[in-house]
Amino acid sequence: MVRPSDRRQKKFEAKVDAEVLARQTRALKPLMVMGQSVYFPDIAAVESKVKTLVEAQAVTSLQVRDYLNFGREMYRLSKRFSSTTLNAEAQVRVDKWVSRGLDGSLLVKTAQLFGVTPTALPTPPALPSMRPLIWEYRPLYWYKSAWAIGNFNKTTSIWSNSVLAQGFPLTRKVRLAQMGMFLYKTGLAGESMRLGLYNSNAAAYPKNLLASSPPLSFPGPLSEVFDIDLTLEPGLFFLAWFTDSDTVETYYSDLCFAGLGSENLPDLIPITAYGYDMPYGEFPDPFPSPPLYTDAVVYALALSIAEVF
């Protein structure tokens, strides 16, 4: 999700306060020095191993430098990650350095000095077929917002303790069957998510809560779905989520547009959703106005239709 620039600036200003930085540096200096006393011998040994390996392959002096940089990256990764994630992160670095002219097989041998075997992450699971919801409806299909003009081919984590309501225009009278959000990664045990539906006010903001799911507790499948029997006239509605999880991830598309009146002028950035930070619980009713922040992508929230009038 895209955090507003003013919130980023305020957080940065708080972090770089001179007194705060000085106090933190004094408190952490002994630990910092101790950490470097371990790091320096380790990195010297790392560089010796890498240099010996690559010089035996008669690489140029300039490339020796690049392989040393790669070796330092493998060292840092081995301290941060493990198992599948470590190998996948290593593969990203291998691909980067191959694009810069280094030998892929020699990079793999270098990574193996650190117990790392570069491999790509598995392909994300396929999403259910979702159709654009504009003029023609068919019962029991999943429909995405008409504002999404691209596929949901990217993934992102979502904020906890933040309500987000995404625009969903309807051009026909329909009776709803289900509402769902399709996830790339579910939350942990004990965490939960709610899904909801809002109508809109004259300013095209979310307004009144029309339906809300009970807490959905991430039982295992990579989706959250709840049944809903509600008849809606044509108009602008908002599908919403609310969670206490910091680990859940969803699909999204950044190829999108929004209806008239929903652009961030003069940049013409499409505003597709509105958000408000608050402790996780019941959906607010009505939706807070004005919202705290906006978003400019479309997430994999969808409706299935029981009947079209």
CATH number at residue 288: 2.60.120
What burial class does residue 14 get, using C-beta atoms within 10 Å of its C-beta: 0-12 exposed, 13-18 middle, 19+ buried? exposed
Q: How many CB atoms lie within 10 A of CB 85?
A: 12
Within-domain flag for 221: yes
- Containing structural domain, residue 287: 130-308
Within-domain flag for 28: yes
pLDDT, averaged per 10 consecutive residues of the chain (309 residues), comes to 65 70 75 69 85 87 89 87 84 87 88 85 56 50 82 85 92 88 86 94 89 85 84 93 90 75 55 90 91 87 86
Q: Where are the beta strands (DSSP E) in 84-173?
A: 130-132, 142-144, 154-157, 162-170
pLDDT for the residue 282? 95
User: Cis omega (within 30 of 0) on the bond before 290?
Assistant: yes
User: Which of 57, 82, 112 is at the close of a domain?
Assistant: 112
User: Are residues 172 and 247 located together in one domain of the fold?
Assistant: yes
User: Are residues 108 and 135 located together in one domain of the fold?
Assistant: no
User: Are residues 22 and 152 located together in one domain of the fold?
Assistant: no
User: Are residues 206 and 86 located together in one domain of the fold?
Assistant: no
- The total number of structural domains in the chain stands at 2
User: Are residues 139 and 267 located together in one domain of the fold?
Assistant: yes
User: Are residues 20 and 75 located together in one domain of the fold?
Assistant: yes
pLDDT for the residue 263? 47
Within-domain flag for 123: no
How far is residue 52 CA from its own chain's centroid?
41
Within-domain flag for 7: no
To the question of pTM greater than 0.95 for the whole model, the response is no
pLDDT for the residue 283? 96
User: Are residues 106 and 138 located together in one domain of the fold?
Assistant: no
User: Are residues 184 and 267 located together in one domain of the fold?
Assistant: yes
User: Are residues 80 and 152 located together in one domain of the fold?
Assistant: no
As a dihedral over the C-alpha atoms of residue 8, residue 11, residue 15, residue 17, rounded to 10 degrees, the angle is 110
Q: Where are the beta strands (DSSP E) in 126-192?
A: 130-132, 142-144, 154-157, 162-170, 174-185
pLDDT for the residue 4? 66
Within-domain flag for 282: yes
